[in-house]
Amino acid sequence: MDEKVLEEIRFHQDVVTKDANSPLFQIREKEMEISGRVLAARNQAEKIVSDARSEAAKIVKGAGSDAERLSTERTNTVLKETEASIAQVEAQGAADVEALRKSLVERQGEAADLVVKLVTTF
């Protein structure tokens, strides 16, 4: 048993055998009452601390889950943006290649004429 409980039992046994109206008894009775209140307050404080610790653990766990979710969302967003940029560069590259082909076809005749001129003038 707890020492406090044993002390209370002894006190009450002493009271039965002695005068309950003595000042010493009344002081002891008040001490026991205050001791009980302190014990109850301590138990309540320990419960509050325990509840706060478990709530903090839940918050930390939730923060980890939130961080993972946000990280995944951001990764997906960046991946989509990168894919869109790649598609845009690819389309621009294809358009540039086509423009160069057209220019080559147009200038091929001019190039042939220039080569013929060069060969015939020497």
Residues 8 and 32 sit within 8 Å (Cβ to Cβ): yes
Q: Residue 54 is encoded by which pair of tokens?
A: 């478990």
Q: Residue 2 is encoded by which pair of tokens?
A: 């707890």
Residues 98 and 106 sit within 8 Å (Cβ to Cβ): no
Higher-confidence residue of 22 and 106: namely 106
Q: Which amino acid is at 12?
A: H
Q: What is d(CA 65, CA 55) in angstroms, rounded to the nearest whole number?
A: 15
Average pLDDT, the chain: 84
Q: What is d(CA 28, CA 12) in angstroms, rounded to the nearest whole number?
A: 10
pLDDT digits (tens, 9 = 90+) for 50-100: 999 999 988 888 888 888 889 999 999 999 999 999 999 999 999 999 999
Q: What is d(CA 99, CA 108) in angstroms, rounded to the nearest whole number?
A: 14
Q: Residue 88 is encoded by which pair of tokens?
A: 């845009």
